[in-house]
Amino acid sequence: MIDRKPIESWLTDMDGVLIHEGVPVPGADAFIKRLRETGRPFLVLTNNSIYTPRDLHARLSRMGLDVPVESIWTSALATAKFLDNQHPGGTAYAIGEAGLTTALHDAGYVLTDTDPDFVILGETRTYSFEALTKAIRLINDGARFIATNPDNTGPSPEGALPATGSVAALITKATGKDPYFIGKPNPLMMRTGLNALGAHSESSAMIGDRMDTDILAGLEAGMETFLVLTGVTTGTADIDQYPFRPTNVVDSIADLVDLV
């Protein structure tokens, strides 16, 4: 086992770690409270690009979780940061909700369906056939294809919903062009988050409930990883499907309070 530096900064997934099916996971409030009391830098991450950090702050507050707006990092914010670094002041045709469009506006991007530099696909509950057709034609005409995250499905009370990854596959099939995915497991999302904190991967930890996104992203970013069993992953059989392992496996976020 490699000796690691003490953990000074924490990154944690939201759904399946802090909340599950709209209810706080027991211990989540104590974990956030300890982070705030100790002054440890932290970010709550989500691949969901629908909501702005202010929206998510309000949603978490209603559940009793006091997460500052500036401590929330979404795939929409990571996408806007990437575009601002790569092609500042550009134009984009965006399919998504306020989380994505607000982040792009804040990064100085102009949203247009006339010869945009990029087509950006994000999460929405109302994918429009007309919008997807427009995206396909713009990509065929030379716009570069970006997607906020690769998740194929998202949760809902009625069951799985098609998410960005599934819709991106439809566009890829129609255009022959693969998107560049920004969200987890792309370590870019983790590294831009660490940069926002002024933190270093050697002394940071990632907490997640999914091996294929959270743990893989943390691993590839060089962070210590904690897998919790309160979300998608529920036991050893799930973990053993993958050729990599988390640094640590714990029952829930409650088991990490004393490590902060």
Please give the positions annotated as active site. Answer: 13, 15
Spatial separation of the C-alpha atoms in residues 121 and 220, rounded to whole Å: 24
Spatial separation of the C-alpha atoms in residues 22 and 4, rounded to whole Å: 34
237, with CB counted inside 10 A (0-12, 13-18, 19+), is exposed
Helices (H), 121-198: 129-140, 164-175, 187-197
8 Å CB contact between 188 and 78: yes
Q: Which of 149, 254, 162 is nearest to 210 (CA)?
A: 149
Enter the tokens of residue 218.
Answer: 């943390």
Enter the tokens of residue 105.
Answer: 């506006």
- Please give the helix or strand (H or E) that residue 24 lies within, else none: strand 23-24
Spatial separation of the C-alpha atoms in residues 116 and 129, rounded to whole Å: 19
8 Å CB contact between 75 and 103: no
In whole angstroms, how large is the CA radius of gyration of the chain? 18
Enter the tokens of residue 226.
Answer: 């904690």
- For 80, phi then psi, to 5°, come to -65, -40
